[in-house]
Chain A
Amino acid sequence: MPQLVLVRKTLRDVRTAAFWIGVALFLTALLDTVIYPSYREQLQGFEVPEFLRGFMGEAEWTSPAGFFQAEFFSWTPLLLITLAIIGATGTLAGEEANGTLDLLLAQPITRTRLVLEKTAGLVIGVVLAALAGMPGFLLGLLLVDVEISAARLLAATLYQVPLTLIFLALSLWASAALPTRGTAAAVAIAAVVVTYFLNMLGASVDLLETPRKLSPFYWTDASRILLYGFQEWVRTGVMLGVSLAFLLLALWSFQRRDIATGAREWRWRPVRALTIAPSPAVRERGAQRAG
C-alpha cells in the first residue's frame, strides 16, 4: 500500500500557514459570536447602504445569519484561498525553483501521483484550517445566547472548502504551466481579487448583475445555509466540477513539459504552452515513416 509520503510532506509544508490561519478563524469566530447580541441592539432599524448588500447575502443584517455572513463568511474564504495559493504554487513551481523536484521525480513515481498526493495534502490542510473556526463559534455560543444552529454553522464552514478548491486547483495549474512561483501566485491572486469584487459590486450595480454570476463567490452565499440549512448540492457540485477541471489542466500541463533545475526562464509562449507534445508512440511512428 502506498505510504502517501507526499501527502504528509505537503501537510508539513503548509502546517505553519494553516495553523495561523486557523488561529485567526478561531478568534474571529469567537469574537463575532460574543459581540453579536450588543451589535444587534445597536443596529436595530439601521438601513444597510446598497453598496454593502454584497456582504449580506440573502439574510437581514441584524439576523444571526446576515451578521455571520457579513462579518465572517463573506471574507474568511479569502484566508483559506491564501493558504491554498501559498501551498499550490509551492508544490510544483516552488519545488522546481528550489531544485528539489528533480530528485523527487527521479524516483519511481508518476507525475500524476506527485500532483494528486500533493493536492490531497493541500486539501486536508485547507479543511483543517477551515474547521478551526468551529470551536470559536461553539465557545461563543456557550458564552452568549444566539439563535443559530451549530450544525448550520458547521455546514457553512465546510461550504467554504469547494470555493477554496477552485482557487487551489487554479493555482496548481498556474504552478504547472507558468515559469515561476511568483508568476503563478500573481495570476491566482488576480483571479481572486477580480472575482471577489465582481461579486461584491454586482450586488449593487445593475450592469454587473449578470457577470457577477461568473464569480465563484456568487455561488457561495453562506447565509442561505444559515437560513435554510444545507441545500446547495448543485452549487457544490458545480464548484467541485470546476476545481476538477483545473486539476486536470494542471495534470495535463505538468505531464507535457520538461522539468527545470532551479528557476525556469521566463518566456511567455502561450501557443507553445497549449500545444500537445507528441507522445512517445506518435514520435516512434513518425520516426519509422521518416526512416
Chain B
Amino acid sequence: MAEPAILTEGLTKDYDGIRALDGLTLRVERGEIFGFLGPNGAGKTTTIRLLLDLIRPTAGRASILGVDCQRRSREARALTGYLPGDLRLYDNLRGREIVALFAGLRDGQVDPVHVARLAERLDLDLSPRAGTYSKGNRQKLGLLLALMHRPPVLILDEPTSGLDPIVQHTVWELLREEAARGTTVFFSSHVMSEVERVCERVGILRAGRLVAVEPVARLLGRSLHRLEVTFAQPPPPGAFDLPQVTELERHNATVWLQTAGGLDQLIKALARYPVVDLRTEQPSLEEILLAYYQEPVEAR
C-alpha cells in the first residue's frame, strides 16, 4: 500500500510547558485536498511547522510521502511546496530575484517556463520590488514559490487570509487544478466556507486536539445557518416548530432562527407567510465547533 501523503502519529508540541499540539494522529491520502480547520491558536500553524521541521516535536512523529519529517527533513521538504501564514519576503529584491533565489535552493528542480506560466496564470508582474507589492500580489508570489517546482505535496497555511474575493477565487482554482493533476493539498483555514468550497475532507482542530476528521459533504449536511426573517404580519407561535430549527427570538414581525442541516423544510415553512425581508448569517467556526463537537475547551 502506498504511503499516505501526510501521516502524523501522536504529534505533540509544548512551548514552555504549554501544550500547543496534543497527540495529533492524522492521515492525509495522496491527491486529496485536505482542509485543516480550527480557530486561531488551535495548533494549525504548529502542525505545519512541525511537518517542515522548522520546530521540533515534544513527542510523536510525522512523515511526508513516507519520508520522516525530522530525520530526513531535507528530503521531506524537497517533496513539498509551502506557503507560510505570515508570508515575509525580501522587500529589497524584485519578484524575479526572489524566484531565482528560491529556485537556486532547489538545485535544478524549477523549470523557468513553468514559472513564467504560473506568473501569467496568477497575473503577477515579477519586475517590481517585493516591498512595493500589494498584500494580494505578495500572496500570489508566495503561491508561485510554493508551486514552481511542481511539488507532490502542497502545504499552505491560511493561503487566502487577507485576500480580496477575486484573488481568493484564483487561489481556489489553482488548488483545484493542482489536485486534478495529482498533487496533495493540505491547507489550514479558520474559515468554514472556504474549506467547504475547496476541500474533500476536513480535519477539525481545537485547542491543540483533533476533534473530527470528516468528508466535507457530511460537514455541509450539518452546517449551521442563522436567519433573520421579517414577515408582513407576526407569524403565529409554533409556526416554525421543526426538528432542526431553534427559534432564537422574535420581536413583532421579525423572527431570528437557527437551523442545523438542510434548509428545505424551513424555507417551505417560512413561505406559508408573506416574507418582507430575509437575511442569513454564517455562524463563526467556534460556534459551529461548540454546537457539534464538544463543550468549550477550558483554558489550559
Contacts and interface: CB of A to CB of B under 8 A. Distances in A.
B84 A102 contact: yes
Contacts of B53: 105
A281 interface: yes
A135 B88 CA distance: 41
A108 B101 CA distance: 13
Contacts of A229: none
A108 B59 contact: no
Contacts of A38: none
Given A103-B82, A259-B54, A98 B88 contact: yes
A104 B106 CA distance: 11
Interface string A108-134: 111000000000000000000000000
5 contacts: A99-B84, A103-B82, A103-B102, A105-B53, A281-B71
Contacts, number: 72
Interface string A75-117: 0000000000000000000000011101111111110000000
Given A261-B86, A283-B57, 20 more contacts: A3-B107, A99-B86, A99-B88, A100-B88, A100-B90, A102-B88, A103-B87, A105-B53, A106-B54, A108-B74, A108-B75, A108-B77, A108-B106, A256-B56, A258-B55, A259-B49, A259-B55, A281-B71, A284-B61, A287-B59
B110 to A, nearest CB: 11
A280 B88 contact: no
Nearest to B89: A100
Nearest to B79: A108
Contact of B101 (A9, A261, A277): A9
Nearest to A272: B16
Interface string A160-200: 00000000000000000000000000000000000000000
Interface in B49-90: 49, 52-57, 59, 61, 68, 70-71, 74-75, 77-78, 80, 82, 84, 86-90
A283 B59 contact: yes
B139 to A, nearest CB: 13
Contact of A106 (B16, B52, B56, B75): B52
Contacts of B89: 100, 103
Interface string B103-114: 011110000000
Contacts of B185: none
A35 B39 CA distance: 71
Interface residues of A, number: 29
B107 A2 contact: yes
Contacts of B144: none
Contacts of A287: 59
A267 B16 CA distance: 10
Return the 9 tightest CB-CB contacts between A and B, nearest first. Answer: A99-B88, A5-B104, A108-B78, A258-B55, A107-B105, A106-B82, A3-B104, A280-B70, A259-B54
B25 to A, nearest CB: 13
A166 to B, nearest CB: 29
Interface in A232-291: 256, 258-259, 261-262, 267, 277, 280-281, 283-284, 287
Contacts of B42: none
Interface in A1-25: 2-3, 5-6, 9
- Name which of B68, B75, B84, B100 has the most chain A CB atoms within 10 A of its CB: B84
A102 B78 contact: no
A107 B68 contact: no
Nearest to B98: A103
A275 to B, nearest CB: 13
B56 A258 contact: yes
Contacts of A277: 56
